[in-house]
């Protein structure tokens, strides 16, 4: 039975630690919404990787994004430690890894989070938390697993995902996509083993064109991605629109939200769709 931690007064500053990939970063937003609803006056900051911070752009539950690189050196660690050391009343760690656990330990006197189950390596990390849960990687969806942390604080879970929000008030989808009937294709995954064939994408794109849908390609500004999509575009319908590298993540979310259909590989953008 879980005994939740009870504050004598509501925490004023909360740090959520989430060193995750892009799509998984989106999946922490219900937890952020839960914390903000329970502690509406609290400043909630998120510590995450630089290359995933755009997923939380404009998030109304978040006050500040504190970013770091995947493999920080001593100088990066020194800078980060100064930013977070005992600056928070509560640290919420969404992972069992060594670095997220360390950052949480440094950030606040009250810490809750996930730990590996016994007898796995790192099971001792439970002694670094006021309250903890063993992480279930097999049977529970990530959103539901993260929301279990609400039990440790006796707060109500909020199941709503929050996509990145456009902060540029002048942005209009119609400035980029003039058709009202379009399909967004996202062919490029982060990991090559998840990539589908160019022939398959061409067949899908031409079928969509036959159904009266304009084809819109999405992708990042990475050279390997823009080069792949430029080559792929030669096999697609002539009026295919390639938006790779031209939109922020929040702007792309707006484009996807107005599409008739989205088709993508297993990657962060598909989580967003």
Q: Would you state the pLDDT for residue 23?
A: 86
127-162 exposure pattern, b = at least 16 Cβ within 10 A, e = fewer: eebbbbbebeeeeeebbebbbbbbebbebebbeeeb
* Average pLDDT in the chain: 91
Contact in structure between 265 and 232 (CB atoms under 8 Å) = no
- CA separation for the pair 105, 129 (Å, rounded): 8
The C-alpha angle 107, 110, 113, rounded to 5 degrees, equals 85
Q: In what order do the strands lie in the sheet with 182-186?
A: 241-242, 214-217, 182-186, 261-264
Range scoring the smallest mean pLDDT among 166-175, 233-242, 254-263: 166-175
**Residue 218 pLDDT more than 90?**
yes
Rounded to the nearest angstrom, the gap between the alpha carbon of residue 105 and the centroid of all alpha carbons in its chain is 22
**Residue 62 pLDDT more than 70?**
yes
In this prediction, residues 8-16 reach a mean pLDDT of 94
Question: Phi, psi (5° rounding) for residue 227?
Answer: -65, -45
Range scoring the smallest mean pLDDT among 75-84, 143-152, 179-188, 190-199: 190-199
Query: Mind listing the pLDDT tens digit for each residue in 95-144?
Result: 999 999 999 999 999 999 999 887 777 778 999 999 999 988 678 899 99
Q: Would you state the pLDDT for residue 69?
A: 92
Percent of the chain with pLDDT over 90: 68
Specify the DSSP element, H or E, that contains 209.
Answer: helix 198-210
**Residue 1 pLDDT more than 70?**
no
Query: Mind listing the pLDDT tens digit for each residue in 68-90?
Result: 998 889 999 999 999 999 999 99
């Amino acid at each position: 039975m879980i005994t939740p931690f009870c504050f004598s007064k509501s925490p004023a500053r909360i740090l959520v630690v989430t060193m995750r990939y892009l799509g998984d970063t989106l999946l922490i937003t219900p937890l952020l919404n839960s914390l903000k609803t329970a502690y509406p006056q609290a400043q909630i900051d998120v510590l995450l990787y630089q290359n995933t911070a755009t997923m939380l752009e404009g998030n109304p539950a978040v006050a500040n994004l504190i970013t770091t690189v995947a493999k920080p050196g001593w100088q990066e660690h020194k800078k980060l430690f100064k930013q977070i050391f005992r600056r928070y009343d509560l640290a919420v760690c969404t992972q069992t890894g060594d670095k997220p656990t360390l950052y949480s330990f440094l950030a606040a006197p009250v810490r809750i989070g996930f730990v590996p189950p016994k007898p796995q390596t790192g099971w001792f990390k439970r002694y670094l938390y006021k309250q903890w849960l063993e992480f279930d990687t097999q049977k529970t969806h990530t959103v539901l697993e993260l929301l279990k942390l609400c039990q440790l604080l006796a707060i109500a879970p909020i199941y709503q995902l929050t996509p990145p929000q456009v902060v540029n008030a002048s942005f209009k989808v119609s400035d980029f996509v003039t058709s009202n009937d379009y399909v967004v294709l996202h062919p490029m995954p982060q990991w090559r083993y998840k990539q589908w064939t160019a022939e398959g994408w061409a067949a899908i794109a031409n079928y969509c064109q036959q159904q009266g849908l304009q084809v819109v390609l999405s992708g990042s500004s990475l050279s390997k991605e823009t080069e792949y999509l430029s080559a792929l575009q030669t096999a697609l319908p002539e009026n295919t629109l390639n938006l790779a590298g031209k939109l922020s993540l929040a702007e792309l979310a707006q484009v996807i939200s107005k599409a008739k259909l989205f088709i993508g590989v297993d990657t962060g953008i598909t989580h967003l769709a």
